[in-house]
Amino acid sequence: MSRFVSPLLVLLVLLAPAAGAPLAAQSGQQGARTDTLYVHAYTLKHQKAAEAFMLIHPLLSPRGTVELQPGGNTLVVRDTLAGLARVVPVLRNFDRPARPLRIDVYVVHASRERPTVVSPVLPEPPSDLVRRLKAILPYDFFTLVAQAQVSGLEGQPVTYEIGGGFEVSFRPGMVAPNRSLRLNDFRVLRRKQQWEFQTLLHTHLNLTLDQTVSLALAKSEASPDALMVVLTPHQDNAPRLP
């Protein structure tokens, strides 16, 4: 077995606190200066270090830094004891097995005039959804075009045909302690031909569990009609749509 140890690993062994012991006790000094910088290397077992990088960066002190080592899926944090006390618990909470998610998706056509053709297959949009849309949009009539309950896992890409010739795709992040959820590369596509799709929307979304977000797709604010994409994310043990 090779006895070679890289200089970087030696540095981490010398400066990083031992796992499970109080940070202040391992500084080797009583009453350590509060502005002293310490090193903490954290290797993630379940999640991507690159995503944790963005999560903890706002928690650092003004002198704190974080280095991403993608090859080892590791973050090396240099900060004061107070900064590390904020960062380390967040990393531990973030680095867990992926949990199931469900996103209720409605595609609704909104118009100022009553539609002349109503689908005999699709039901009307839920009345509470219609009330919310009327409160924020200058439209009077809402017709359900497609709906689906899209299930997946935190961190895993999802592509789903929701009916009516529409498809959604995205990669959910991890649910944060404040119940926020980021959908990366969220796309709404409409089928034009058998294997040809038109991209109607491509963006990143920040959502909150059990709260509804409505996106309006229209040529302009004065358009006589619009296409609404309505999303509500849940943990997958939440009650399902009727």
- CA 158 to the chain's CA centroid: 13
What is the pLDDT, as a whole number, of residue 31?
Answer: 52
pLDDT tier at 209, thresholds 50, 70, 90? very high
pLDDT tier at 59, thresholds 50, 70, 90? very high
For the chain, which residues make up each domain, given as ranges?
A: 7-94, 100-235
What is the pLDDT, as a whole number, of residue 221?
Answer: 78
Q: Which two tokens stand for residue 235?
A: 């943990």
What is the pLDDT, as a whole number, of residue 47?
Answer: 87
Question: CA 164 to CA 147: how far, in whole Å?
Answer: 9
pLDDT at 64 over 90: yes
Q: What is the DSSP string of 165-193?
A: TEEEEEEE-PPPTTSEEEEEEEEEEEEEE
**Partners of 41 in beta bridges:** 76
pLDDT tier at 113, thresholds 50, 70, 90? confident
pLDDT, tens digit, for every residue of 2-57? 443 333 333 333 333 433 333 443 444 455 566 899 999 999 998 889 888 888 98
What is the pLDDT, as a whole number, of residue 241?
Answer: 52
How many angstroms separate the Cα of 27 from the Cα of each of 24, 87, 105, 201, 229? 6, 18, 52, 52, 53
Give residue 112's region: left, alpha or beta (phi > 0; psi -120 to 50): alpha
Q: Which of 168-172, 173-177, 189-193 has the highest average model confidence (pLDDT)?
A: 168-172
Question: CA 130 to CA 39: how far, in whole Å?
Answer: 53
Largest Cα separation within the chain, whole Å, is: 79
3-class secondary structure, 48: coil
Report the mean per-residue pLDDT for the chain.
82
pLDDT at 238 over 60: no
What is the pLDDT, as a whole number, of residue 1?
Answer: 42
CB distance 95 to 46 below 8 Å: yes
What is the pLDDT, as a whole number, of residue 211?
Answer: 95
Question: CA 182 to CA 195: how far, in whole Å?
Answer: 29
Question: CA 201 to CA 198: how far, in whole Å?
Answer: 9
Q: Which two tokens stand for residue 174?
A: 């991890």
Question: CA 145 to CA 109: how far, in whole Å?
Answer: 6
CATH code of the region 7-94: 3.30.1370.120
What is the pLDDT, as a whole number, of residue 45?
Answer: 93
Q: Higher-confidence residue: 89 or 16?
A: 89
What is the pLDDT, as a whole number, of residue 240?
Answer: 54
Count other C-beta atoms under 10 Å from residue 57's C-beta: 13
